[in-house]
Protein backbone atom coordinates (compact mmCIF):
# COMPACT_ATOMS: atom_id res chain seq x y z
CA UNK A 1 0.00 0.00 0.00
CA UNK A 2 2.03 2.88 -1.32
CA UNK A 3 0.23 6.19 -1.15
CA UNK A 4 1.72 9.27 -2.68
CA UNK A 5 2.03 12.19 -0.36
CA UNK A 6 -0.10 15.02 -1.58
CA UNK A 7 1.13 18.50 -0.93
CA UNK A 8 -1.68 20.65 0.22
CA UNK A 9 -1.35 24.37 0.12
CA UNK A 10 -2.37 25.90 3.38
CA UNK A 11 -5.11 28.46 2.82
CA UNK A 12 -4.38 31.86 4.30
CA UNK A 13 -6.04 32.66 7.57
CA UNK A 14 -9.18 34.78 7.35
CA UNK A 15 -7.64 37.48 9.53
CA UNK A 16 -4.65 37.87 7.23
CA UNK A 17 -6.86 38.12 4.15
CA UNK A 18 -9.06 40.71 5.83
CA UNK A 19 -6.02 42.72 6.94
CA UNK A 20 -4.55 42.74 3.43
CA UNK A 21 -7.93 43.70 2.01
CA UNK A 22 -8.18 46.68 4.37
CA UNK A 23 -4.55 47.63 3.76
CA UNK A 24 -5.17 47.70 0.01
CA UNK A 25 -7.93 50.30 0.38
CA UNK A 26 -7.14 53.55 -1.46
CA UNK A 27 -7.64 55.75 1.62
CA UNK A 28 -5.19 53.69 3.68
CA UNK A 29 -2.46 53.92 1.04
CA UNK A 30 -2.99 57.65 0.55
CA UNK A 31 -3.03 58.31 4.30
CA UNK A 32 0.18 56.37 4.80
CA UNK A 33 1.80 58.15 1.85
CA UNK A 34 0.84 61.57 3.24
CA UNK A 35 2.14 60.62 6.69
CA UNK A 36 5.33 59.37 5.03
CA UNK A 37 5.78 62.67 3.22
CA UNK A 38 5.25 64.66 6.42
CA UNK A 39 7.72 62.47 8.31
CA UNK A 40 10.26 62.96 5.54
CA UNK A 41 9.77 66.72 5.79
CA UNK A 42 10.34 66.54 9.54
CA UNK A 43 13.40 64.37 8.93
CA UNK A 44 14.84 67.06 6.68
CA UNK A 45 14.07 69.68 9.33
CA UNK A 46 16.02 67.81 12.02
CA UNK A 47 18.93 67.02 9.70
CA UNK A 48 21.05 69.86 11.14
CA UNK A 49 21.00 68.07 14.52
CA UNK A 50 23.49 65.54 13.16
CA UNK A 51 25.02 67.60 10.37
CA UNK A 52 28.09 69.78 10.13
CA UNK A 53 26.75 72.43 12.49
CA UNK A 54 26.22 69.97 15.33
CA UNK A 55 29.56 68.21 14.83
CA UNK A 56 31.79 71.18 14.17
CA UNK A 57 30.25 73.76 16.42
CA UNK A 58 29.67 77.37 15.50
CA UNK A 59 32.87 77.73 13.54
CA UNK A 60 34.56 79.99 16.05
CA UNK A 61 37.97 79.01 17.41
CA UNK A 62 37.73 76.43 20.17
CA UNK A 63 34.14 75.49 19.36
CA UNK A 64 33.47 71.77 19.40
CA UNK A 65 30.59 69.41 18.95
CA UNK A 66 27.32 70.05 20.72
CA UNK A 67 27.08 68.67 24.24
CA UNK A 68 24.02 66.61 23.34
CA UNK A 69 25.33 65.17 20.09
CA UNK A 70 24.71 61.53 21.09
CA UNK A 71 21.10 62.32 22.03
CA UNK A 72 20.66 64.07 18.69
CA UNK A 73 22.00 61.06 16.85
CA UNK A 74 19.73 58.63 18.71
CA UNK A 75 16.67 60.81 18.06
CA UNK A 76 17.59 61.25 14.40
CA UNK A 77 18.06 57.49 13.95
CA UNK A 78 14.76 56.70 15.68
CA UNK A 79 12.89 59.18 13.49
CA UNK A 80 14.68 57.87 10.40
CA UNK A 81 13.62 54.31 11.19
CA UNK A 82 10.04 55.45 11.85
CA UNK A 83 10.03 57.30 8.53
CA UNK A 84 11.43 54.24 6.77
CA UNK A 85 8.82 51.94 8.33
CA UNK A 86 5.99 54.28 7.39
CA UNK A 87 7.30 54.54 3.84
CA UNK A 88 7.56 50.77 3.56
CA UNK A 89 3.99 50.38 4.81
CA UNK A 90 2.77 53.01 2.33
CA UNK A 91 4.55 51.32 -0.57
CA UNK A 92 3.27 47.89 0.47
CA UNK A 93 -0.28 49.22 0.75
CA UNK A 94 -0.09 50.81 -2.67
CA UNK A 95 1.48 47.65 -4.07
CA UNK A 96 -1.42 45.57 -2.76
CA UNK A 97 -3.85 48.03 -4.30
CA UNK A 98 -1.98 47.81 -7.60
CA UNK A 99 -2.32 44.04 -7.59
CA UNK A 100 -6.03 44.28 -6.76
CA UNK A 101 -7.21 46.90 -9.24
CA UNK A 102 -4.31 47.59 -11.59
CA UNK A 103 -3.62 51.13 -10.41
CA UNK A 104 -0.34 52.71 -11.56
CA UNK A 105 2.98 52.07 -9.86
CA UNK A 106 3.54 54.49 -6.93
CA UNK A 107 6.63 56.22 -8.35
CA UNK A 108 6.64 59.11 -5.88
CA UNK A 109 6.39 56.88 -2.83
CA UNK A 110 9.04 54.51 -4.14
CA UNK A 111 11.47 57.30 -5.01
CA UNK A 112 11.00 58.96 -1.63
CA UNK A 113 11.62 55.59 0.02
CA UNK A 114 14.86 55.24 -1.95
CA UNK A 115 15.84 58.74 -0.79
CA UNK A 116 15.20 57.79 2.85
CA UNK A 117 17.28 54.63 2.40
CA UNK A 118 20.09 56.76 0.97
CA UNK A 119 19.81 59.07 3.98
CA UNK A 120 20.06 56.06 6.29
CA UNK A 121 23.16 54.82 4.49
CA UNK A 122 24.72 58.28 4.60
CA UNK A 123 24.00 58.54 8.32
CA UNK A 124 25.41 55.07 8.99
CA UNK A 125 28.55 55.86 7.00
CA UNK A 126 29.05 59.19 8.79
CA UNK A 127 28.65 61.26 5.63
CA UNK A 128 26.22 63.70 7.25
CA UNK A 129 28.95 65.05 9.54
CA UNK A 130 31.03 66.42 6.67
- Among 56, 47, 45, smallest CA distance to 130 is for 56
pTM of the entire predicted model: 0.80
Query: How many other CB atoms are found less than 10 A from the CB of residue 117?
Result: 14
Q: Torsions phi, psi of 100, nearest 5?
A: -75, -45
What confidence score (pLDDT) does residue 3 get?
A: 56
Predicted local confidence at residue 88, as pLDDT? 96
Cα gap 130→118, rounded to integer Å? 16
Q: Would you write out the chain's pLDDT as a tens digit for each of its 130 residues?
A: 555 556 667 666 777 788 888 888 889 999 999 999 999 999 999 998 888 777 776 666 767 777 888 898 999 999 999 999 999 999 999 999 998 888 889 999 999 999 999 999 999 998 887 6
Neighbours of 74 (CB within 10 A): 12
Write down the domain spans for the chain.
Answer: 25-56+66-129
* pLDDT score for 18: 82
For residue 119, give Cα distances in angstroms to 18, 54, 79, 81.
34, 17, 12, 11
Amino acid sequence: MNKEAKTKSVPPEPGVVEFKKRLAAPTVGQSLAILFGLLFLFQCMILPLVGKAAMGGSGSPGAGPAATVWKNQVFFLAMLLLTLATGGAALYSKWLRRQADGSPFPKATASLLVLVLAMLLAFAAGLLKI
